[in-house]
Each structure stands twice: as C-alpha cells, then as structure tokens.
Amino acid sequence: MKGSVYIGVSLDGFIARENGDIEWLEEFGDEEAIPAYEDFIKKIDVFVIGRGTFETVLSFPSWPYTLDVILLSTTIKQVPEKFADKITLLSMKPKEVMAYLSDKGYSNAYIDGGKVIQGFLNDDLIDELIISKLPILIGSGIPLFGHLDVDLRFTHIKTEVHKNGIVRSHYERKR
Amino acid sequence: MKGSVYIGVSLDGFIARENGDIEWLEEFGDEEAIPAYEDFIKKIDVFVIGRGTFETVLSFPSWPYTLDVILLSTTIKQVPEKFADKITLLSMKPKEVMAYLSDKGYSNAYIDGGKVIQGFLNDDLIDELIISKLPILIGSGIPLFGHLDVDLRFTHIKTEVHKNGIVRSHYERKR
C-alpha cells in the first residue's frame, strides 16, 4: 500500500491561511498544472481526507473526487446521506487505515489535508511527496508539515517549473 | 541598497535544529554548491548577521567572512577585540541598517540568520531570495520564515537541481 501526497504550498510552507482561505493559491492554477495532476492521479485508487478537507470540499460547487474517499474523523459520527455512496467514514490511526485499504484491494492512496498528511508522515507512511511551491510568502496559516519523531530522508526524482513561477518537486521516500 | 538571502533549508523549512545543530545540512555540502555560491557572492559587499549566527560562527575553526560584517544585536554591547577590524556592531532596525549601509557606500547586503531574515522580510527589504531545499524533513527547528504583516510576491528566476537532491530556486521580489 503506497501513500502519496500531491499538494500546493506557499514559499513559507502553508497550504491555507488560518481561516482556510486558499484564494492566494487558486490564482496560480494554470493550464500547465492540469497534465501534471492527471498524470499523477492515474495511479491513485483512493483518497484519504480529514474533517478539515471534507468541510472545505463541501463548499465547492460540486463533489470533486472521482474515486472512493476515506474520511478520517473521530468527531464526525455519520456521513451526510447524499455522500453515503462516495465516502467511507473511519476512525482509525494511519497504520490501521493503510492495512484496511490494502485489505480492501486498494494499492495507492492520495493522502490529503494538513493534519492527515502530518499524521501519515509521522508514521512514515508517505512514499511519494509532490510539492508545488508557489512564489508567495503569506506569513502565517495552516502548515503542510509538523512534528516528526525522526528525520525522514527523500530522494529527489524531478523538478518542473511553470511559467507563473510554480516549482513542483517530486520526491520518493529513501528507506 | 539591495538585500539578498542565500540559504539552505530542510524540506519542512528549518535552517537548524532547535539547538542550532546543522550537521544534517552540512552532509549535503557538495562540489556543485561551490560555483553557485561563488557566483552569488561576487555581487555582495557586506554581510548582515545577528547574535545567533555570530555565536555559531565563533565555533567555526576560522572566521568565514571575507567581507565586512555588520552584527545586529541589542544585547551584545561590545565586539571581542580580535574581531574589531572585521565587525561593526549596530543596534538598529532593518530600515535604519539599510540606510546606514547605503550611506557607507555599500550596495548589496547578504542578510543572514533566521531572526534577521524574518525582520528584513517583514520590512520588505529583501530583493533576492535564493533557497537551497534539502531532501530531508527534520520535524522541528529554527524556521527560515516568520510572521509577515502583508503577503510578499516573488518572481521565479531559475531553479537548479544538484545530483544529491538539493533544489535551489532563485526569486526576485515582485514590486
């Protein structure tokens, strides 16, 4: 079971402002971003998100996920009925989630959202890390990375640069 | 008066561990790093450092700076005599420092050290930002970036990749 992260961050490492605002990030969405994402998503067969990402996504005009979604939460007790066929609600630790997904026949999970990514990294369950760095400092917000019990080394695979200044680096976990 | 930053950071944005340790960073020092730094340093005519960097540098086998050094500190009252010809001690705010340096005939300052860089960024005095991103997460430490009163946008100039996985991106302040 492989865990992958594909995310955009400010130059100072934030995925959103404190209040969840990602307008500063969306303005860097460009045509160059589409083929890279499509190439990445081909290998993914399940999304793993947390409550924060779920609540952000609920404000979108339509449900953005085209694959099964695992919602990790200890506070949400039931998924709204309209999402019942799209979402599996789990209250498990990262390692248990990966074992569960493997049992269900999945092979590559997209791990999304700050808290969820941090938890999976701290349990060393992220094999692939693809970070699109935007050329803007926002000073504060929700950080991509958090505490780790031990250092994690990665192998740099490739870096692509967009015309609008996005620098996207692909890393694989060095074990 | 131009302010430049040239610094190495972990993938999660730290310039040193909490205790100042940079061993994890030094192991990525390679031959590819030398010409890039030499090319950069040609334009620099003065270094601006804070107490933290000064104390780190004191533990080095020899004084590493080949140009004049400005030491910014409100707590250090006098420079040790052996450094009297190398260091000017100032207790000024970033804008005052830049005006002082311009008056003295300098044109391009290397702004170094976490706290000092953060102060100069918050006063929008950094024109050039060159960040060497190392392929390692260390989980905690002294952060490169800090609070900003407003967003700061940069233009991406170029990105270079080393064989050992360092990704060095050059940015210029977009005004």
B135/A147 touch (CB, cutoff 8 Å), yes or no: no
Q: What is the pLDDT of residues A67-114, one digit of tens each?
A: 999 999 999 999 989 898 999 999 999 999 999 999 999 999 999 999
Higher pLDDT, A171 or B33: A171
List chain A residues with pLDDT less than 70: none
Q: Which CATH number fits domain A2-173: 3.40.50.2300, 3.40.50.2000, 3.40.430.10, 3.40.50.300?
A: 3.40.430.10
Distance from CA of A7 to the nearest CA of B (A): 14
Least Cα distance to B37 among B58, B15, B64 occurs for B64
Residue B50 binned pLDDT confidence (cut-offs 50, 70, 90)? very high
A148 contact residues in B (CB cutoff 8 A): 137-140
Kindly list the distances between the CA atom of residue B54 and the CA atoms of A29, B94, B142, in Å, as whole numbers in the listed order. Answer: 42, 17, 15
Mean local confidence (pLDDT), B41-64 = 92
What are the residue ranges spanned by the domains of chain A? Answer: 2-173
Cα dihedral A136/A141/A142/A144 (nearest 10): 30
In the predicted structure, residue B2 carries a pLDDT above the cut 90: yes
C-alpha closest to that of B24 among A173, A153, A123: A153
Residue labelled with tokens 């031959």: B31
Rg over CA atoms, chain A:
16
Q: CA–CA separation, A97 vs A57, rounded Å?
A: 21
ipTM over cut 0.85: yes
Closest CA in chain B for residue A138: B151
CA distance B127 to B60: 29
pLDDT more than 70, % of chain B: 100
Mean pLDDT of B22-32: 89
User: Which chain B residues contact residue A161 at CB under 8 A?
Assistant: 156, 159
Nearest to B24 among A13, A139, A151 (CB): A151
Average pLDDT, chain A: 95
- Look up residue A36 and give its two tokens: 């890279």
pLDDT digits (tens, 9 = 90+) for B131-171: 999 999 999 999 999 999 999 999 999 999 999 999 999 99
- What pTM, to 2 d.p., does this model score? 0.95
Q: What is the pLDDT of residue A25?
A: 94
Residue A171 has a pLDDT of 98
User: Amino acid identity of B142?
Assistant: I
Is B155 within 8 Å of A161 when comparing Cβ atoms? no
Burial of B135 (0-12, 13-18, 19+ CB in 10 A): buried
**DSSP-derived 3-state class of residue B38:** helix
For the CA atoms of chain B, what is the radius of gyration? 16
CB proximity under 8 Å: B 23-42 to A = 24
Give the containing element (helix H, strand E) for B169. Answer: strand B167-173
**What is the structure's pLDDT at A70?**
98
